[in-house]
Structure 1
Amino acid sequence: MDTDIGADPAASPTAPAARPPDKSVLFLPLFLRNERPLYAYIYTLLPRRADADDVLQETSLVLWDKFDVACPPTDFLAWARKVAYHKVLDFHKKTRRSQARLSQLFLDKVAAAAAEPTLAAQLEARREALNACVEKLTPQSRELLTHRFAEGATTQSTSEQVGRSVDAVYKALAKLRQSLFECAQTLLAREGCP
């Protein structure tokens, strides 16, 4: 049997066909790079963290199912936001918690504003500045914030947990808010962010 050593094996009729790239190899880096801005977008439309978490999970599943390896989206984040927007609409249809429901027009306007690259970048810069400022707080101040802003917490329940009066907790939180605001503004001004 003659074998041409210089022959291209891909040109051979018995060579295996090129396999398409693994879906996870293409999808996961795109998703991980865009997960935080996608979550920020969803959280803008659903201010309860638990609701935003649920919608992000549902959105992630749809993105995975609809991701086409042969033709990936040219702007992954724009595509992901579109899917998330429809999941938010589904969420509002399923849950009729408040009688004062947001109108479709209002949701459209908020979604469009939140998708603006400059606004998204500003929100991300503010979030990072706030996180940096929270890290600078004393352990007692961080503990107070953690208790107060836990899911379902009230100022009354926080005062019981930290062993301070409700009035003292109100005053401490007001000082913390002002301190965090000033710290974040200083950091943003240093970075040239509005």
Structure 2
Amino acid sequence: MRSEQQIRFTKLWTEVQPAVAMYVRAIVRDPHATSDIVQNTAVVLLRKFDEWDSSRDYLRWAMGIAKFELLAYHRNSGRDRLVFDESLLDALAESWPSVISEVDHEQSALQDCLETLSPKAREIVNLRYFGGLKVPKIAEQLGLTAGAIRIALMRIRHQLAGCVERRLQVHGGDA
């Protein structure tokens, strides 16, 4: 593979890798298996990069490769009770690019809305969702009761949901 092709592949893969990883993670709950499948997908894409028709959407092509890697994973791990059939994987792979676009808009709106929270509310959100702390630990750390934290989280989630919804409506889904 020529240097220009390697650079082009790297740029394209870097752009679509998060979407491919989210697709795989939505189907395979094991983080180690997800990582392996995404890496295998990247290897196949790299090997077959010369075969990619640049008039085709790269994300859709990558999703097709990821689908085959998922099928191989499920075939090789017969111990799993829940196995998706190929038609479901086809449907998911086909619709995933539009789902990712919608998730990106929602994520952007949520990020904007998080910035509108008060510092205390932002701290509670950070401790709970980014720090992974449970309500009793947050209460202990902030010197509040667990009930106060639960109520605060309920209000914060309600506030964020309303904010995200308004931003998506105002921007027609383009937060």
Query: Do they fold alike, i.e. is TM over 0.5?
Result: yes
Q: Which has the higher helix share?
A: 2
Distance 1:157 1:171, change over 3 A: same
Q: Is 1:174 aligned to residue 166 of structure 2?
A: no
Root-mean-square deviation (Å): 3.6
TM-score by length of 2: 0.72
Please list, as runs of the form range in 1=range in 2, the aligned pairs for 1:1-194 lying within 5 A after superposition. Answer: 20-46=2-28, 54-55=35-36, 58-59=39-40, 61-63=42-44, 65-68=46-49, 70-73=50-53, 74-88=56-70, 90=73, 101-105=81-85, 109=88, 112-113=91-92, 115-116=94-95, 117-150=97-130, 153-193=133-173
- CA shift, 1:21, in A, is 4.9
Distance 1:51 1:92, change over 3 A: farther
Distance 1:24 1:125, change over 3 A: same
Distance 1:93 1:33, change over 3 A: same
Q: Unmatched 5+ residue regions in structure 2? A: none
Residue-by-residue CA offset, 1:10-38 (whole Å, 9 max, x unaligned)? xxxxxxxxx94533222022123323433
SS at match of 1:181: helix
Q: Identity, % of aligned pairs?
A: 22
1: distance between equivalents of 2:139 and 2:87? 39
Distance 1:38 1:57, change over 3 A: closer
When the two structures are aligned, how many residues end up with a matched partner? 170
Greater C-alpha radius of gyration: 1
What residue identity is the alignment partner of 1:182? G
Residue-by-residue CA offset, 1:95-152 (whole Å, 9 max, x unaligned)? x7xx9x53424x9637724641433322221121112111222232222112212475
Distance 1:62 1:131, change over 3 A: same
Q: Is the 8 A contact 2:109 2:168 kept in 1?
A: yes
Distance 1:153 1:108, change over 3 A: farther
Distance 1:28 1:104, change over 3 A: same
2: distance between equivalents of 1:91 and 1:145? 36
